[in-house]
Amino acid sequence: MTSAAQFSPATSSFWNDTGKSGITSWVFSTDHKRIGLLYLYSVLTFFLIAVSLGALLRIELMAPGRTIMGPQTYNAVFTVHGVLMIFLFIIPGFPGAFGNLIMPIQIGARDVAFPRLNLFSWWLYIAGAAIIVTSLFTGGGPPDTGWTFYVPFSERTGTNVSLAVFGVFIVGFSSILTGVNFVTTIHRLRAEGMRWGRLPLFVWSVYATAWVQILATPILGITLVLILAERVLGTGLFDPTKGGDPLMYQHLFWIYSHPAVYIMILPGMGVISDIIPVFARKPIFGYKMIAFSSLAIAGAGSLVWGHHMFTSGMSDNAVLIFSFLTFVVAIPSAIKVFNWVSTLYRGSISLEAPMLFALSFILLFSIGGLAGLILGAAATDIHVHDTQFVVGHFHYVIFGGAGFAFFGAMHYWLPKFYGRRYHERTAVIAWALLFVGFNITYFSMMVLGMEGMPRRYYDYLPEFAPLNLVSTIGSWIMISGLILMMVNLFRGLFRGEAIGQNPWGGATLEWSVPTPPPTENFIEEPVVTHGPYDFKGAGIP
């Protein structure tokens, strides 16, 4: 906010400086910022649809018995909620939207290494999304398997599973190509003086994420093709009546889908590591440990998938090893939390919207992560596995973690690209509603799980009724906060107060370019002389 008064938005920026306009200048653009915004609009569209489906699920669960829909509809709605949220929002969301918008500028590059491949990735995403949407309205109707597509049920159900998994397969390619693009960009296109030790922590997290995308996603691709083969050709790889093994499917699925959780959360940790120093006016505490722990999480996190299978019938030795490795992954996450909190010590803290989202991220991610310890221990997992406890834990980590970081990133970075900003006090009210509603909704679920209510339940016994009602009321508070946040944010971006080049006083490179940035980002090729959180070195008062 320091320089807002004496600044008017640049007249020439990536919005108009190519001289092209109209829809084709966007959907065929190779500019990483335009592609980033295309991703942003696409993922937010699917996010809002999936939120609405989630709200319907909560209304159905408000009271025992039928409330607004039948069991088959309910099963389809929770499946589609999961598929849209995971495969079309949170996995492509961070790399696609903020990875594209921010990462090239933060390393001092004009664009990503392969701009046309970048555009192709977005088109693949849209093609896959179109196929998934088509699968809801054709064939046997929307899939009713849950987003995990567990066999042999997914082989036998008459719903449109084949087309849906094909769509997810296509979206997977988009993710792999984005990963390849980003790893190459970070290795090859850093500006002069941008040593590895000067990379912003968001870039480090995008880098770790990109490796997971490259290495893990192909396994999901293969697994989904095998489901198709099972359904269409009856190959019998997973079907026990044909000599197949359902547990093999579960291993293949989670070899991707557990690391995928880190694709969702790592960039969120990166965002938080960038926001906190700026709003505390202090260098991040333990830069090297945070950067290293991102890589450690990406590496060790690829070896813990079996903790989804403690009750599956997998051998006890496998349970021993996977439980051990799961606890090992907890260590780098704990290090990050301690470092973030220490950064606040003796700082000068300003509680604006991005900072509120960042601080609530720490709390919600801690609750989700600590609940994860109960799931990681073999004895306690047996009781809470496949219950509402897992649903609560997962939403704490992915919505309270990755989701809140995504909202924080929207408040922190989007004004930079639009040249205008949202109304601050409204943003704080929206955050408060979201935060309170969130905890009511999902904490109730964790308690329900400890009491023994299984997940994916359309109906439940009367003993679970009170907390389900509480959870549903919480979801209404949360959604009102969400609507207020979106309206305030986008109204502000198009019509709000104009902002200057560096409204928050950040020391990373994106704050050294005009607002909004020009198509080639930098007017002169940058030479980096200081670290990402060296505010004195960047000349920020």
Subset of residues 233 to 262 that bind another protein, contact rule: CB under 8 A? 240-241, 246-247
Instruction: Say how far apart CA 302 and CA 128 lie, in whole Å.
Output: 25
Question: Is-contact 344 280, C-beta < 8 A?
Answer: yes
Question: Per-residue string for binding with another protein, 449-468, x by CB under 8 A?
Answer: --xx-xxxxxxxx-------
Tell me which residues in 95-154 interact with another protein (CB under 8 A).
144-146, 150-153
Q: Quote the CA–CA distance of 118 and 124 in Å, as a whole number.
A: 10
SS3 157: coil
Q: Which of 53, 62, 344, 493 binds another protein (CB under 8 A)?
A: 344
**In this chain, which stretch among 163-171, 336-344, 411-419, 507-515 interacts with another protein, using CB under 8 A?**
336-344
* Shortest reach from residue 79's CB to another protein, in Å: 9
Q: How far is the CB of 249 from another protein (least distance, A)?
A: 10
| Orientation of helix 246-280 relative to helix 353-376, angle to 10° | 150
Report the distance separating Cα 525 and Cα 109, nearest Å.
8
Which residue, 75 or 178, is less far from another protein as judged by CB? 75
Name which of residues 490 to 509 contact another protein (CB under 8 A).
none
Distance, CA of 47 to CA of 82 (rounded, Å):
11
Minimum distance between the CB of residue 128 and another protein, rounded to whole angstroms?
Answer: 24
Question: In angstroms, what CA-CA distances link 235 with 82, 238, 239, 458?
Answer: 27, 8, 8, 32
Q: How many CB atoms lie within 10 A of CB 116?
A: 10
Q: Take residue 297 and report the two structure tokens written for it.
A: 């999480």
Tell me the residue length of the chain. 541
> Is residue 478 involved in binding another protein (CB under 8 A)?
no
Q: 6, 158, 494, 524: which one contacts another protein (CB under 8 A)?
A: 158
Q: Which is nearer to another protein, 32 or 258 (CB)?
A: 258
Among 68, 130, 320, 487, which residue sits at the site for another protein (rule: CB under 8 A)?
A: 320
User: 113 is written with which tokens?
Assistant: 């290494």
Select the residue interacting with another protein from 110, 231, 281, 423 (CB under 8 A): 281
297 in Cβ contact with 521 (< 8 Å): no
Q: Which of 232, 379, 494, 495 binds another protein (CB under 8 A)?
A: 379
Candidate residues 289, 318, 440, 470; the one interacting with another protein per rule CB under 8 A: 289
Among 4, 231, 299, 386, binds another protein (CB under 8 A): 386
* Of 180 and 335, CB closest to another protein: 335
Cα angle, residue 273 at apex, residues 267 and 274 outer, rounded to 5°: 95
Stretches 34-42, 124-132, 203-211, 315-323: which one binds another protein (CB under 8 A)?
315-323
Applying CB under 8 A, among 16, 30, 67, 342 the residue interacting with another protein is: 342
Q: Please, what is the end-to-end C-alpha distance for the chain in angstroms?
A: 13
Residue ranges in 61-114 assigned as alpha helix (H): 71-83, 91-93, 100-106
Residues 73-92 that bind another protein (CB under 8 A): 75
3-state secondary structure of 497: strand
Interface with another protein includes 230 (CB under 8 A)?
no
Minimum distance from CB of 303 to another protein (Å)? 15
Which of 1, 180, 303, 370 lies at the binding interface for another protein (CB under 8 A)? 370
Residues in 418-447 that interact with another protein by CB under 8 A: none
Q: Which of 63, 215, 330, 436 binds another protein (CB under 8 A)?
A: 330
Out of 20, 52, 116, 156, the only residue in the binding site for another protein (CB under 8 A) is: 156
Nearer to another protein, 115 or 141 (CB): 141
**Residue 196, interface with another protein (CB under 8 A)?**
no
Q: Which stretch binds another protein (CB under 8 A): 13-21, 228-236, 377-385, 517-525?
A: 377-385
Token pair for residue 279?
């709003």
| Tokens found for residue 59 | 């209304």
CA distance 128 to 171: 5
Determine, following the binding rule CB under 8 A, whether residue 157 of this chain makes contact with another protein.
yes
Local structure of 498: helix, strand or coil: strand
Give the separation between CA 114 and CA 66, rounded to whole angstroms.
52
Q: Least distance from C-beta 134 to another protein, angstroms?
A: 21
> 29 φ, ψ to 5°?
-75, 145
Residue count, binding to another protein (CB under 8 A):
88
CB 2 within 8 Å of CB 541 = yes
Stretch that binds another protein, among 16-24, 178-186, 188-196, 283-291 (CB under 8 A): 283-291
Q: Which of 1, 377, 469, 493 binds another protein (CB under 8 A)?
A: 377
Q: Tell me if 4 sits within 8 A of 416, measured CB to CB.
A: no
Among 5, 348, 462, 524, binds another protein (CB under 8 A): 348
The structure tokens listed for 197 are 């030790």
Residues 316, 318, 319, 324: what is their CA dihedral angle, to the nearest 10 degrees?
130
DSSP codes, 411-436: HHHHHHHHSEE--HHHHHHHHHHHHH
Residues 9-68 that bind another protein (CB under 8 A): none
Chain centroid offset of residue 486 CA: 17
Closer of 30 and 350 to another protein (Cβ): 350
